[in-house]
Amino acid sequence: MPSPLRIAFAGTPDFAAEHLRALLESHHNVVCVYTQPDRPAGRGRRLNPSPVKALALEHGLSVHQPERLKTPDTHAPLIEADIDVLVVVAYGLILPRAVLDIPRIGPINVHASLLPRWRGAAPIQRAIEAGDRESGVTIMAMDEGLDTGDMLLTARVPIEDTTTAATLHDQLAEVGTRALVEALDRMSDQQLTATPQPLDGVTYAAKLSKAEARLDFSQSATVLSQRVRAFNPFPVAWTTLGGDTLRLWQADARVAQGSELDAAPGQLLDGPSDALHVACGEGVLRITHAQLPGGKMLSAHELLNSRRDQLTAGTILGADQ
């Protein structure tokens, strides 16, 4: 068995917590944890710990939550921990050179894309939105750039026509945790070689916004179905039905036929009750799961039964946007 490494972990959301859990179940030693400060959430705006903090406290680990990592006092716990490796997963703060130089072997990062494609904040969502047929995880040696470090290990995952950001997140967390532990084992035995990222194929995954989740039915059904799946579970694609916001959770695309070709973008079409069939700039969007204000997500069949008077053929979705 490879020699155990002393590890400091830096991460914040669920995706990071899954990787911390894998390290805690491995033979390596997590000796301290960094995560972002508690944030207000819910109707009461009470301060909530990050998933990483909650898991770390369950295991009695030392937790540090600086707003920034610019001052020596914020670096001191890392120095005192005498670490071999700093593992960073979706931490959300920029690490200065002074921090990157602390671990004996080096800092490594788990990034949810096949680098150099989709460097940046939202790689899972942007891959689906762009229609990629494959995603993955890259274990990377960190430098001071934005996801520009040398690659140590990759693990690939296919993107299917039904893949959402939620399901891809879970798949990448599963393969990423295995890849992370394998990388650390091989680093321990000095059997891992770093490879520079290719100069071609670099793209950037911009941060998501709620404003971009509103659908424009003049776009093609293929593009819109990719956006619906990319924005599930956040920020959730939406349109309007009458004066209500209709949130769209799952959809796919099909080819328009006959009179459907003459329908206006956003117009509801006749079709089987397993979906809302919506005319688009090109093709038909089949919405299979949606949600109205104050209600839960419903199948299209349930939605048609509850709003049959509004969801008739000829209704224009998004007409009042």
**Binding-site residues, please?**
113-116
**Binding-site residues for (6S)-5,6,7,8-tetrahydrofolate, please?**
113-116
Within the chain, strands assigned E span: 6-11, 29-34, 39-41, 46-48, 63-64, 85-89, 106-111, 119-120, 134-141, 151-158, 204-205, 237-241, 244-254, 268-269, 276-279, 284-291, 298-299
H/E stretch holding 189: none
3-state SS assignment for residue 15: helix
Query: CA 93, CA 301: separation in Å to the nearest integer?
Result: 44
Which residues are registered as beta bridge partners of 157? 135
What is the DSSP code string of 67-127? S-S-SHHHHHHHHHTT-SEEEEES--SPPPHHHHTSSSSEEEEEESSSTTTTEES-HHHHH
3-state SS assignment for residue 228: helix
Sequence-ordered list of residues with C-beta below 8 angstroms from that of 190, at least 6 positions apart, any chain:
none
- Beta strand 151-158 with 106-111 is unpaired
Buried b vs exposed e over 77-105: b needs ≥16 C-beta within 10 Å?
Answer: bbeebebbbbbbbbbebebeeebbebbeb
Apex CA 111: angle with CA 134 and CA 19, to 5°?
110
